[in-house]
Amino acid sequence: MTRILANDGVTAGCKVALENAGFEVSLENVPQGKLNEELKNFDVILVRSATQVRKETIDACPNLKLIGRGGVGMDNIDVEYAKEKGIEVINTPAASSASVGELVFAHLFGMARFLPDSNRTMPLEGETRFKELKKKFSKGVELRGKTLGIIGIGRIGQATAKIALGVGMKVIATDPYIDDITIDVEINGQANLVDIKTIEFNELLKQSDYITIHVPGGDKPVIGKKQFDMMKDGVGVVNCARGGVINEVNLVKAIEAGKVAYAGLDVFENEPKPAMQVLMNDKISLTPHIGAATHEAQDRIGMELADKIIAFFGN
């Protein structure tokens, strides 16, 4: 029997589907330091972002046939090395796109109306300084009519663009691999097709009122001091992609200088211990890496993993 270790957990639906197909599924969470030894007893490992599957683990487990990542990014897996060893590597790139796009807009709406700062302040001072707080938080703006710049117009970028267009924003995008894209915006059951032609990266920085990033992590930030300097004064920036694609030191300095009015971060350079200067900044909206963490997305991720595993083994 093919044995599967779901080290970071899977949905109940995924587990049932796999067991009905004849697989044995363990939900035991094996600590990273013991993974190489324990994984020798399994044919498949399923992970999210917590567990690392590196070269040494792959070498220690010659029985391993498949590595599955519940989610999009696979920077916690040595993908190419695994493939060289004949191990199948799968992920679920489409399952969480809508959820991440909605979180981007949770941050955008919150920032535009000062909700993070207001929610921090009201419980402490709402009773004694209500009129002062009303004045302080009465300078919000509407998103409608503003320009949203999307860096990376893949699946998540497109899901974000759909919401932006529905809100009435102008959408521009930059992507080294996509020249143009047609977005299907469904309104009251009717399909509305909107063509978006990608532009140069620097032009997007100059034209955008808000910027959201949807690219995989790399060796260096996508946005640092040079890029902040190119942006409009008072820009809003959201990162629900990967920690490190924005230089957080430069971000805080840009906020202090008034270049960036506010920012939204779901991911951080130093997870799971984000920098204190980021956590304490009242102009940064914060969430703890929950972009894909909705019931609907998790269900889709689980079933997509199950379908791909069953197809791979031919069960």
> pTM here?
0.89
Report the distance separating Cα 226 and Cα 2, nearest Å.
51
DSSP string, 54-108: -HHHHHH-TT--EEEESSS--TTB-HHHHHHTT-EEEE-TTTTHHHHHHHHHHHH
Rg over alpha carbons for the chain, rounded to the nearest Å, is 22
Question: Tell me, what's the pLDDT at 216?
Answer: 86
Q: What is the pLDDT of residues 84-128, one digit of tens each?
A: 999 999 999 889 999 999 999 999 999 999 999 999 999 999 999
Among residues 69, 214, 242, 300, the one annotated as catalytic is 242
Any catalytic annotation for residue 242? yes
Regarding the domain with residue range 97-286, which homologous superfamily does it belong to in the CATH classification?
NAD(P)-binding Rossmann-like Domain (3.40.50.720)
Q: What is the pLDDT of residues 190-215, one digit of tens each?
A: 888 999 999 999 999 999 999 999 99
A 10 A CB-CB count for 259 gives 20
Question: Tell me, what's the pLDDT at 315?
Answer: 61
A 10 A CB-CB count for 100 gives 26
Q: pLDDT higher for 192 or 131? A: 131
Among residues 84, 132, 186, 271, the one annotated as catalytic is 271
The closest alpha carbon to 60, from 40, 89, 83, belongs to: 40
Any catalytic annotation for residue 3? no
3-state helix, strand, coil in the chain (%, to 5): 40, 20, 40
Question: Tell me, what's the pLDDT at 49?
Answer: 84
Report the distance separating Cα 155 and Cα 256, nearest Å.
33
Query: Domain locations in the chain?
Result: 3-93+295-313, 97-286
pLDDT at 61 > cutoff 70: yes
Percent share of the chain, pLDDT over 70 = 100
The CATH code of domain 3-93+295-313 reads: 3.40.50.720
Report the distance separating Cα 237 and Cα 111, nearest Å.
10
Any catalytic annotation for residue 214? no
Q: What is the pLDDT of residues 9-59, one digit of tens each?
A: 999 999 999 999 999 999 999 999 999 999 999 999 999 988 999 999 999
Residues sharing a CB contact under 8 Å with residue 184, sequence separation 6 or more, in sequence order: 162, 191, 192, 193
83 residue type, one letter: K
